[in-house]
Structure formats: C-alpha cells, structure tokens
Amino acid sequence: MKIRNPREFVRDIEGLPTLPNLYTRFRQKIYDPKSSANDIAEIISADQAIVSNILKIANSAFYGFSRRISSVTHAIVIIGFNGIHHIVLNTTVVKMFSGQTQGGFDLSRIWEHSLGTAAIAKYIAKKKEQKNFEEVFTAGLLHDIGKVIVFKYLPDEFRAVMERVREENIPIKEAEAREVGVDHTEIGKCLLEEWKFPESLVRAAAYHDNPVLAKEKKTEVSIVHLANVITRAFEIGSGGDDLISPCNEDAWNHLGFALEDLDDIAAHVDEALRECAVFKDLMG
Amino acid sequence: MKTVRINELRPGMKVVKEVKDAQGMLVCPADTPVSERLKELCLRRGVEEVWIAEEQDAAETRGTVRETPEQIRKRVREKFAPYMEDPVMARLCELAQEYLLRREEM
C-alpha cells in the first residue's frame, strides 16, 4: 500500500489507540489559568496506574529530588504543571512501543533508540538551561513515532522497508518513501497533530532529520536532532538502519556549541541513560 | 560456516546467514546477534538450525565472541567516512569509538 495522504491515513488507522479521556480532560484543565494543583490532582487520581507512574518518575533519578514525593498534589507543586503534563503524556503513549518483530527487526530496538535520544536530549536541554527539559525529553521519545506506526499498522510494508534497507544499505527514510509513499517524519507529524500534542513535539517528529525546516521551536528541534545524531553514532538501539546521521550545521550553530560541549555531552551519555531508566519500567 | 541447533546457540554468537521458516518467511536477517529472544523466535517458528561462522563456535568454548578494539575502530571510521570533513562529525567519530570501546569492555 502506498500512502497518498498521511493525514487521512492516521485518521483512518483501524485499531490505533485513542488518547484516554483522562488525558483530554487533564489537558483542558492544565491550560485553564484558574486551575489549581488540587483540580489537576483530582483528575489524575481517577487513574491509579497514572498516579503510580507519576510518583515513580517524580521519585526517580529523572528528577533526583532529595525528599520523597508521596502524593500527586505534592508532585504537581514541586514539578509544575508543564512537567506533570509531559509525565502524563509519556505514560500514556509509552505502551505504543511494545510489540514483536517485523522483517527481522525488533520494535524494542526503536524504543531503545527513542529512549536514548530522549535521555540525551534532556541532558542537552539542561545544559542549555532550558526550563522545559521534560518537553524536550518527550519530543525525543516521540521523534520516531511514525516508524512505530508503520511497524504496527503496515507490517507488510515495514518488512519491505527493512529488506530494502538491508539490501541497498540506504537510510530507512529513503526506503519508507519508496515502499510506503511517505516517510516516518510525515506520518509522525500528522499523528501528533491529530492528537493535538504540543507544537514542539510535532515539529521534532517532523524535522528532526532536517532541522533547518523548523521555523518555530527551533531550539527544541535542534536539540532532538543532535541527540538523535549522537544516539545513532553511539549505537544505542536502532533507528531502523545502522547508518550515521550527519549533524546539521544550522542546528549546531543555533545551539551555539563548541567541540568541547560535544565532549561533555558524550561524557554524560551513560549518566543520562541511567537517569531515565525509570521509563523502561513503564513499558512493563 | 557451519550449522548449529538452536539450543546450542549462545549469546555472543552471530547468525551469519538469514533465517527463514518453513513458509519462507524471514525470521532474522544475516548478521543478527544471538539473544534469548532470537532463540525463542526460532523455536516458535519451527526453525531447528541456523548458520554461524566456524570460528564463533570455537570462540564460544572460550567464552563469548566479541569485536576486537581494532574491528570496532575500523567499523566506526568506515561509517563516518563520508562526513569526516565536518569537524563536528570528525570529533563525534572519535567519541563514538571511545564510547563503543568502553561499552565493549563492560
């Protein structure tokens, strides 16, 4: 099957999980300036699995707080609305990465690559003193969500993509364009737009391979781009092909880094991965 | 190359030829590292034997098969070769070699 209109495709996918009502109500409340921590906590408390995940993450090395956080209200006060928003979002979509094998490729390798990109992106965001580091983390986690969609909902095409990648040694994006008609960045963009996810996540999914095209949220997109380049170079999981992705000069200049900064990021990769290990538990 | 039975596969070995089941469907491509998951998959799909390199079997008796540091350096340098004129990528190539060598030692 060749996709002509990726937006229609994501709208019509049979069996694609919809976002839980809780997330929709939560999102409305979080953007309401009159909302209090108690209002938000009340919505979240309706789902004990999300409560448990929030407390797990809030008390993990991801934040590294010295004192134990024992309630959702406490977590909201300490972490803030935006941070909690992204924890809820991550815990909601993370299950999409669970799956089997298609065409000799295990979905857990894309999960490992995505989590690696997210962890490194979080480190870079903190290094750049970005306050929205949780948002950048989520953008990293979801940057390849389009590949997950092809893997799960177009299994025959995914197998053909992987065969082409192996036989012709080409980037997965190129193989997708030939076998599916569009690549994972377009599918990911349309899916996250359909779900009305924050703009930075949509743009990171759309432009992580070509950050020059991101006219807005350029810092977030550039961070995810660099994190993706490093994750591929360090062979953390797999993006589908084993090729190196070159660092875009425009993104590098936008971040204002010197080569010493690259040394620093590389030196902190394992620590960044350890800090985000809690997300592996969420996969179950 | 030689064939070995699935229950003789050990982590550290690598399957050197693609594996297909009785229906001709791909189970795993060539150069897939052996893992418990791969063994389970082969057993589930009714695959009884796979191809590995002769020297892997010999090495298995000593422990696990690993890339030598020089093989890692060579592989990484080859992957980065088209981008080495870019100083960022040239530095990343060095850092990737260091990282992968460190990970291999662990």
Domains annotated for chain B, with CATH where assigned, are: 2-62 (3.90.105.10), 69-105 (no CATH)
Q: Do B92 and A249 touch (CB under 8 A)?
A: no
pLDDT at B54: 62
Q: Does A104 touch chain B (CB under 8 A)?
A: yes
DSSP state string for B35-67 = -HHHHHHHHHTT--EEEE-HHHHHHHHHS----
Q: Does A174 touch chain B (CB under 8 A)?
A: no
- Is the CB of A252 inside 8 Å of chain B's CB atoms? yes
pLDDT at A236: 96
Quick check: A259 contacting B, CB < 8 Å? yes
Q: B65 vs chain A: nearest CA distance in angstroms?
A: 18
User: What's the mean pLDDT in A172-201?
Assistant: 95
Structure tokens at A221: 């997109």
**For residues A146 and A114, what is the distance between their CA atoms, to the nearest angstrom?**
12
Cβ separation A247–B89 shorter than 8 A: yes
Closest-CA residue in chain A for B85?
A: A246
Domain extents in chain A: 19-97, 99-284
Alpha carbon of A228 to those of A23, A120, A193: distances in Å?
28, 8, 21
Which of B42, B43, B47, B92 would best serve as a mutation to test chain A binding (most A beta carbons within 10 A)?
A: B92
How many residue contacts between A and B have a Cβ separation below 8 Å? 58
Architecture (CATH level 2) of domain A99-284: Orthogonal Bundle (1.10)
A106: β partners: A101
Predicted pLDDT of residue B61: 42
Report d(CA A72, CA A40) in Å as an integer.
9
Q: How far is CA B104 from CA A71, A242, B98, B99, in A?
A: 41, 18, 10, 9
Q: Is A169 on the interface with B (CB under 8 A)?
A: no
Which residues of chain A make contact with B18, given a CB cutoff of 8 A? 104
Please enumerate in sequence order all residues whose Cβ is within 8 A of that of B86, keeping only pairs 6 or more positions apart, or say none.
A246, A247, A249
Per the model's pLDDT, the better-predicted residue between B53 and A3 turns out to be A3
Q: What is the pLDDT of residues A32-89, one digit of tens each?
A: 889 999 999 999 998 888 899 999 999 999 999 999 999 999 999 999 998 999 998 8
A79-134, pLDDT tens digit by residue? 999 899 999 888 888 878 887 777 778 888 999 999 999 999 999 999 999 999 99
Nearest CA to A146 out of A176, A116, A115 is that of A176
pLDDT at site B59: 47
Of B27, B89, B99, the CB nearest to A104: B27
Whether the predicted pLDDT of B42 surpasses 90: no
CB atoms within 10 A of CB B98: 16
Position A225 confidence tier, pLDDT thresholds 50, 70, 90: very high
Contact A273/B at CB under 8 A: no
Nearest to B88 among A159, A163, A262 (CB): A262
Measured CA to CA, the distance from residue A269 to residue A192 in angstroms comes to 28
Mean pLDDT over all residues of chain B?
82
Is residue B58 predicted with pLDDT exceeding 50? no
Identify the pLDDT of residue A239.
93
List chain B residues with CB under 8 Å of A234.
96, 99-100
DSSP string, A60-114: STTT--SSPP-SHHHHHHHH-HHHHHHHHHHHHHGGGG---EETTEEHHHHHHHH
- Give the ipTM of the model, two decimals please: 0.91
Q: Which residue among A166, A247, A252 sits closest to B29, beta carbon to beta carbon?
A: A166
